[in-house]
Amino acid sequence: MTEFQTVIGLEFHAELKTKTKIFCSCPTTFAGEPNTHVCPVCLGLPGVLPVLNKRAVELAMKAGLALNCQISPFSKFDRKNYFYPDLPKAYQVTQYPLPICKSGYITVPDADGNEKNIRINRIHLEEDAGKLVHSGESITTSNYSLPDYNRAAVPLIEIVSEPDMASAEEAKAFGDKLKLILEYAGVSDVKMEQGSLRCDVNISLMPKGSDKLGTKVEIKNLNSFRAMHRAIQFEEDRQRRMIERGEKIVQETRTWDEGSGQTLSMRSKENDHDYRYFPEPDLVPTVITPEWIEAVRSELPELPDKREKRLKEECGLSYYDCAQIVATPALAFFFDEVAKIFDDKKTIANWLIGDVSRLINVAEKEYEQIPIAADDLAYLLEQAKSGAINNNSAKAVLEEMFASGKKPAEIISERGFAQISDSSALEEAVKAVIEANAKAAEDFRAGKQQAMGFLMGQVMKATKGQANPNLVKELLAKMLK
Ligand SMILES: [Zn+2]
């Protein structure tokens, strides 16, 4: 039996986080009544001229730099011609032979856990189409559909990978990493459920060891990485069985049907020449200087791979802990803020992964809305570290900071959490406990170390948990001699 190798390439569309559309000043906001964010330019009315949004160019450059691409000093726009009711001009302004970014890569773990570079062929800048709102549940069960052009001409980047992925797992790892990098770079909202990040899969099978690629099939309508993973596995199976039966794979576009868990034929795959690309005559070429590239590069924050490595080195944290922080940009940025004030990074990390994350989950909030200030958390951790309050009190203070928004110092004083670290104040309590527990004191003197734990517990109880445990231990040892 022939063994097959899967070959996967991915295409991502990411909506750029600009305030206005790519060639006009209409807003890009997601919500809004249908056809209220439109003007003669994005509706393609006769006689209008587009003006390129500079910020869209910069965000595309940023994406390219974050994905290790070369930025083209000279790029231009082309018209891709096709008719569909969501495309008012009957052509899409995009980039064909001269895209803004070329030749990048992302590093992902392969099946053996080694690092593998997945190459990026190109990133091009283009405009989004509008949306069709169907009268029924889906396009096939609707009597009519209405076009909404609010999304028409929202700036997009299309990121095209090389066919370097060999499994659904690698494709998902690529998608997860790409999404995270774009999020760190601040290029896109990357919300798959809202359509600001969309993914198409190109997949083919070939006999293992062969260098001749099989016929590829494109899968669309994947609105989560889970769907992508399932669709790839389904398609691997379908194509393998067809080849084994001696059937020919048809080059086509298929759609993922989440309900039935299968891909369905949508249309035969069009070729590039079907679109009759030609240069967009209304826009001048985009010229990017090295100075401009450096200015954009300086806006980029530290990216995930580098950040994970630094956290591991600086905090002595496990791979798992670092990955957990880095996977959520808002948490990673918050970590940096706290670390500017409080220098025990391992403690910060433990609190962020532990209690802070737990409280955010309980409050059903997003990490972007952490309801406490970085300097307040730093203050609280400092109080716990110096022994001014004990660890349990610190946890209770954090909880109240989340609930009431009060400052930690205020909560500590209101609830009397300040630890008793004054030895003269504690001596009385220690003395009383020794007197009341003569048997345990005798045991300790006779060499039973466990008696110390019991006596400490009694002192903590007598002081309602506010005694500094280290000091109690010290006093007990001294007074039991
Ligand atoms: Zn407009």
Query: Same structural domain for residues 284 and 168?
Result: yes
Q: What is the CA radius of gyration of the chain?
A: 30
| CA 150–ligand 1 middle distance (angstroms) | 8
Measure the CA–CA gap between 419 and 413, rounded to whole angstroms.
11
Measure the CA–CA gap between 189 and 195, rounded to whole angstroms.
9
Query: Same structural domain for residues 270 and 380?
Result: no
Query: Same structural domain for residues 242 and 118?
Result: yes
**Is 168 a residue whose pLDDT tops 90?**
yes
| CA 266–ligand 1 middle distance (angstroms) | 31
Per residue in 243-283, pLDDT (tens digit) is 889 888 889 999 998 888 899 888 776 777 788 899 999 99
Query: Same structural domain for residues 342 and 381?
Result: yes
Domain limit, last residue, from 366, 393, 414 = 414
Domain limit, last residue, from 261, 293, 325 = 293
| CA 123–ligand 1 middle distance (angstroms) | 24
Q: How confident is the model at residue 49 (pLDDT cuts 50, 70, 90)?
A: very high
Query: Same structural domain for residues 403 and 280?
Result: no
| CA 44–ligand 1 middle distance (angstroms) | 9
445: left (phi over 0), alpha (psi -120 to 50) or beta: alpha
**pTM, rounded to two decimals:** 0.83
Query: Same structural domain for residues 403 and 436?
Result: no
Query: Same structural domain for residues 317 and 453?
Result: no
Query: Same structural domain for residues 111 and 212?
Result: yes
52: left (phi over 0), alpha (psi -120 to 50) or beta: beta
Query: Same structural domain for residues 40 and 109?
Result: yes
Measure the CA–CA gap between 397 and 411, rounded to whole angstroms.
6
| CA 188–ligand 1 middle distance (angstroms) | 20
| CA 149–ligand 1 middle distance (angstroms) | 9
Residue 102 vs residues 57, 65, 77, 182, 401: alpha-carbon distances, Å:
14, 10, 15, 16, 48
Measure the CA–CA gap between 397 and 393, rounded to whole angstroms.
6
**pLDDT of the residue at 329:** 92
Domain that holds residue 473: 423-480
| CA 131–ligand 1 middle distance (angstroms) | 15
Whether the Cβ atoms of residue 177 and residue 225 lie closer than 8 Å to each other: no
The CATH number that applies at residue 472 is 1.10.10.410
Measure the CA–CA gap between 256 and 112, rounded to whole angstroms.
29
| CA 39–ligand 1 middle distance (angstroms) | 4
Query: Same structural domain for residues 236 and 254?
Result: yes
Q: Render 375-393 in DSSP notation, one character per residue.
A: HHHHHHHHHHHHTSS-HHH
Per residue in 352-369, pLDDT (tens digit) is 988 988 888 888 888 888
Q: How confident is the model at residue 422 (pLDDT cuts 50, 70, 90)?
A: low
Domain limit, last residue, from 414, 441, 461 = 414
Whether the Cβ atoms of residue 22 and residue 153 lie closer than 8 Å to each other: yes
Tally of domains within the chain: 3
Per residue in 316-325, pLDDT (tens digit) is 788 888 888 8
| CA 25–ligand 1 middle distance (angstroms) | 6
Query: Same structural domain for residues 56 and 76?
Result: yes
| CA 23–ligand 1 middle distance (angstroms) | 7
Query: Same structural domain for residues 45 and 89?
Result: yes
| CA 208–ligand 1 middle distance (angstroms) | 51
